[in-house]
């Protein structure tokens, strides 16, 4: 991890950097970390690291481990399945609403098209962190086009966990292509204004991702 500049929002920066390390598995599940270790790597004092770790602890991304230590939590396959069940319902709603507004919200439509084009430009050597960011951007564009701020507000607290789960399947080259193929289908139905088809495609995408992630996590647990 690269040292940070001591700007006023240092705690936010430290939080974001540790979170990214957890998501891309620079800090893998089960890894024990200490405030002093992270402070040294990031080139900051222990105070912002302490605040950031306690934020991550409240989100369930790290757990206390020994004196002044924390441990990156494991991904629970059952919990991930539950999150995807909820996300499927939210994504389906968002896609249906977005399809209803696609022809009248030019800015929202353009944002979705930009997100889709960025995903098309990925390659086999695209870094995992970039793939996850593009995936989030795509779904975020749909949420905004839906025109209901409550959708983003409800899903936002779960994104750190969802991004961790994305890393499980997006690390596999064969799924990267199929994921964006499913994105293409969802976007095509939204942009065409086909509300029911967009809703069905978004739900199917979330269900597939949830099933694959759960299966992958279970397989990893058995191998361990």
Complete DSSP assignment for 75-118: P-HHHHHHHHHHHHHHHHHHHHHHHHHTTT-HHHHHHHHHHHHH
Q: What is the C-alpha to C-alpha distance for residues 142 and 58, in angstroms, rounded to an integer?
A: 28
The more confident residue out of 219 and 173 is 219
Q: What is the C-alpha to C-alpha distance for residues 133 and 216, in angstroms, rounded to an integer?
A: 21
pLDDT confidence band for 58 (50 / 70 / 90): very high
- pLDDT given at position 219: 82
pLDDT tens digits along 62-99:
999 877 789 999 989 989 999 999 999 999 999 999 99
Kindly state the greatest CA–CA separation across the chain: 57
pLDDT confidence band for 224 (50 / 70 / 90): low
DSSP state of 28: -
> Which among 18, 50, 42 is positioned nearest to 160, based on CA atoms?
18
141 φ/ψ angles, rounded to the nearest 5 degrees? -65, -35
Burial 88-117 (b: 16+ CB within 10 A, else e): bebbbbbbbbbbbbbeebeebbebbeebbe
Residue 57 has pLDDT above 70, yes or no: yes
Q: How many alpha carbons lie under 13 Å from residue 161 in its C-beta half-sphere?
A: 25
Residues of the chain above pLDDT 70, percent: 94
Residue 166 has pLDDT above 90, yes or no: no
Alpha helix segments (H runs only) across the chain: 10-23, 35-42, 46-58, 77-101, 106-120, 128-146, 149-155, 159-170, 173-191, 195-223
- pLDDT given at position 89: 97
pLDDT tens digits along 93-111:
999 999 999 999 999 999 9
DSSP for 199-217, written as a single string: HHHHHHHHHHHHHHHHHHH
Average the pLDDT over 133-160 and give the result. 95
Task: Identify whether the C-beta of residue 36 lies closer than 8 Å to the C-beta of residue 47.
Answer: no
Domains and CATH numbers, the chain: 10-72 (1.10.10.10), 77-223 (1.20.120.530)
């Amino acid at each position: 991890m690269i040292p940070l500049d001591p700007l006023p929002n240092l705690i936010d920066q430290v939080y974001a950097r540790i979170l990214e390390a957890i998501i891309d598995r620079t800090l893998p599940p089960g890894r024990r970390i200490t405030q002093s270790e992270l402070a040294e790597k990031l080139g900051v004092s222990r105070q912002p690291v302490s605040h950031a770790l306690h934020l991550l602890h409240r989100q369930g991304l790290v757990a206390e481990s020994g004196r002044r230590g924390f441990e990156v939590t494991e991904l629970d396959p059952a919990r991930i399945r539950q999150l995807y069940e909820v996300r499927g319902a939210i994504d389906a709603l968002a896609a249906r609403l977005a399809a209803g507004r696609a022809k009248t919200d030019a800015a929202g439509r353009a944002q979705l098209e930009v997100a889709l084009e960025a995903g098309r430009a990925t390659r086999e050597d695209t870094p995992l962190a970039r793939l996850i960011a593009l995936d989030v951007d795509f779904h975020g564009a749909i949420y905004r086009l839906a025109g209901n701020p409550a959708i983003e507000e409800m899903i936002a607290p779960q994104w750190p966990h969802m991004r961790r789960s994305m890393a499980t399947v997006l690390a596999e080259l064969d799924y990267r292509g199929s994921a964006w193929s499913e994105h293409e289908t969802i976007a095509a139905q939204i942009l065409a204004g086909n509300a029911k088809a967009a809703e069905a495609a978004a739900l199917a995408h979330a269900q597939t991702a949830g099933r694959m992630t759960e299966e992958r996590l279970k397989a990893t647990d058995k191998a361990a």
